[in-house]
Amino acid sequence: MSSYTAENNQAPEMQQNLELLKDVQLFSYFPGKALKLLAFLAERTHLSEGDILFEEGDDHGRAYLVISGQLELFKQYDNEKVIVQQYDEGDFLGSFSLLDAMPALFTLQAVTKATVLTINRKQFAKILEQFPETTKLSLKVILKELHQWERRNIHQAEACCLRRTGATVL
């Protein structure tokens, strides 16, 4: 008879989480001990098709790494659902929500059966507190991400729309 239990499964899952988190740009510069703690604290969430992770206006305080399946970010305008972005395996989203409370601008929904690795704001704050050097590293990566986002939007916007898109002046 096997002595394999859910408790024994924790170590392999944590190791899998660690390998996944190493590939996330936000955590790629974290010291090994900080990354291991994050891998331990992160939780796997299994979703069915149509499950909502958060709705517009929610302060969900979480970031998600898509392990499998597909998610869809959308905004509801009257009765029309406007898809803003689709996320697939390996995509990471929600890094800004780890830093502070802010209402979601969109709704995030599972398009297919999916599994995500979930990191919440309290877990992330614990990492920043225990490993102070990670604060500067995190901000550097997030600012770079914001700058890249802004560059993409400026290049995609038509001349007439540039005044309405706003700018962070980075």
Tell me how many domains the chain contains: 1
Q: What is the pLDDT of residues 4-31, one digit of tens each?
A: 344 445 568 999 999 999 999 889 888 9
Q: For position 1, what pLDDT does the model report?
A: 39
Top-confidence residue, 141 or 96? 96
Tell whether 4 is covered by a domain: no
Tell whether 82 is covered by a domain: yes
Flag whether pLDDT at 74 surpasses 60: yes
Tell whether 2 is covered by a domain: no
Mean pLDDT of 95-108: 90
Q: Which two tokens stand for residue 163?
A: 């005044």
CB-count burial class (<10 Å; 0-12, 13-18, 19+) for 154: exposed
SS3 content of the chain, % helix, strand, coil (to 5): 45, 25, 30
Q: What is the pLDDT of residues 140-162, one digit of tens each?
A: 777 777 767 677 766 666 655 65
Tell whether 1 is covered by a domain: no
Tell whether 48 is covered by a domain: yes
pLDDT band at 168 (very low <50, low <70, confident <90, very high): low
The identity of residue 52, as a single letter, is I
Q: Give the burial string for 82-116 (b: 16+ CB within 10 Å, else e).
A: eeeeebeeeebbbbebbbeeeebebbbbbbeebbb
Distance CA 10, CA 112 (A): 26
Yes or no: say if 22 and 72 are a contact pair by the CB < 8 Å rule: no
Please choose, from the candidates 118, 139, 101, the residue with its C-alpha nearest in 3D space to the C-alpha of residue 21.
118
Tell whether 13 is covered by a domain: yes
Tell whether 91 is covered by a domain: yes
Mean pLDDT of 118-145: 85
Tell whether 159 is covered by a domain: yes
Domain that holds residue 54: 9-165
Q: Which two tokens stand for residue 80?
A: 């029309």
For the domain that residue 75 is a member of, what is the CATH number? 2.60.120.10
Q: For position 3, what pLDDT does the model report?
A: 39
